Amino acid sequence: MQASLARDYGVNVHWIGNQAGDTFQNAYFSSRILRPAGVKSILLVTSSTHMWRASHEFTATGLEATP
């Protein structure tokens, strides 16, 4: 994703999360990276099948998740 964002959209990626094996871990590790940087809210992108669960996983870490 980092390479695609840089190549296709000219976006420099500031944070990279590559440790997670599932959504719970992704939420946990992401919050540990983002909250110290002052990030309090995220735009959550996933399939409609997973949105409800993923939103709750991220919200439980203290991040405000907008689907």
Question: Which helix or strand (DSSP H or E) is residue 43 part of?
Answer: strand 41-43
pLDDT of residue 30: 96
* pLDDT tier, 58 (very low <50, low <70, confident <90, very high otherwise): very high
Query: Rounded distance, CA 1 to CA 32, Å?
Result: 20
Q: Provide the 8-state DSSP code for 21.
A: S
Mean pLDDT of 5-26: 94
Return the percentage of the chain with pLDDT > 90, whole number: 93
Query: Rounded distance, CA 48 to CA 5, Å?
Result: 23
pLDDT digits (tens, 9 = 90+) for 19-41: 999 999 999 999 999 999 999 99
* pLDDT tier, 1 (very low <50, low <70, confident <90, very high otherwise): confident
Quote the tokens at residue 10: 């000219």
